[in-house]
Amino acid sequence: MIDSHHHLWRYSTDEYGWIPPGSPLAQDQLLPELAAATAAAGVSGTVVVQARQVIEESDWLLSLADQTPLIQGVVGWVPLIDEGVGKNLERLSPHPKLKGVRHVLQEEPDEYLLRDDFHRGLALLPSFGLRYDLLIFQRQLPVAIQLVDRQPDLPIILDHIAKPEIRKGRIDPAWKAGMAELAKRENLTGVKLSGMVTEVLDDEIDDSTLQAYVEETLTLFGPDRVMFGTDWPVCLLRIESYQAWADAVRRYVSQLSPTEQQAILGENCTRIYGLQK
C-alpha cells in the first residue's frame, strides 16, 4: 500500500499559521511519527507533499527522503511565476526522489490559475521529468479545466478529489459535472482519494457518503487513475488516526477485483509518479 499524499513538518506558529493552535496538527510530525503511523496501517511507501511555499521546503523534504526508503517520492514547491524558476528546477530535478511540484491554488483567486507567468513556469516542468499536483476547491473546477487544457504536455495529478462540499446522503451535482469534464483530459493522469474527511460539512462523518464519492470518482476516472492517499496529518482534524483512513479506503474498494484494488492502493501511485520499486 502506497500513500500518495501526506505532509511532514517541524511545527512553529510562524511557519504554519494555518494550523489551528491546540489541534492535533500543532506538533512536530517528522520521520518517527510517519514510520509509526505507516507501520500500523500496513503502508510500505509514501509520497510527501509540500506544506510551505518557500524553496527551502523542497530542499528539506528531499533531505528527509534521503534518510528513509519509506519516502519514495517528493512533491515540492518552486516559485513558478518567477522568471528564474528554471534555475531552481535545474538544481532540484536531478534528485531521484523529486517527482513533482505544487502551488496551493485553493488560496488563490481564479485569475491566478490562468496567469501567463504561472503557465510559463508550468510549461517547464515536463522537460525536467516533473508532474504538477493540482490543489483546488470544488468551486474552482471550471477554471482548473482551463488550466489543464493550456498544458497538454504536463502530467497533472488532482489532489483530494478536488475538495468537494460533502454533505450527508448526496453527491454535489456541481462537483460531479466538473469532475466528469476533467476526466476527459488525458493529461489529468491521477486523482487522489485523500483529504476527503476535512471537507465534510456535517458535524458527523457519514461513511456511506464518503464511499459514494469514492465510487463516483472511480466511475468517472476509472481504476487506473485513482490512488489512495491520506493527507496525514491534516486528516487528524476529523479522524482519530492514519490507520483509520487507510482502513476506510480498503473498505471502500473491497468489492472491486483484486487487480483493481492493488492498482488503487499502490500500483497506480508507483506508475503515475514514476516511483522506484
DSSP states along 206-236: -HHHHHHHHHHHHHHH-TTTEEE---BTGGG
Beta strands 188-193; 156-158: pairing state:
parallel
81 CB-near residues (< 8 Å, 6+ apart): 115, 117, 118, 121
Q: What is the CATH number of domain 2-273?
A: 3.20.20.140
Residue 203 in grid coordinates: 458535524
Q: Which residue from 235, 227, 252, 168 is spatially nearest to 198, judged by alpha carbons?
A: 235
CB 160 within 8 Å of CB 213: no
Q: Mean pLDDT in each 10-residue stretch from start to end of the chain (277 residues)?
A: 98 92 95 98 98 97 98 98 98 98 97 98 98 98 98 98 97 98 98 98 97 98 98 97 98 98 98 91
**Can you say whether the dihedral through the CA atoms of 159, 163, 164, 169 is positive or negative?**
positive
Distance between CA atoms of 239 and 68, rounded to whole angstroms? 27
Burial of 111 (0-12, 13-18, 19+ CB in 10 A): exposed
6 CB-near residues (< 8 Å, 6+ apart): 34, 46, 47, 48, 49, 229, 230, 231, 232, 233
Residue 62 in grid coordinates: 528531499
Residue with cell 511555499: 53
Mind listing the pLDDT tens digit for each residue in 17-51? 989 999 999 999 999 999 999 999 999 999 999 99
Mind listing the pLDDT tens digit for each residue in 148-186? 999 999 999 999 999 999 999 999 999 999 999 999 999
Distance between CA atoms of 189 and 131, rounded to whole angstroms? 9
DSSP 204: S
Distance between CA atoms of 141 and 216, rounded to whole angstroms? 16
The pLDDT value recorded for residue 276 is: 85
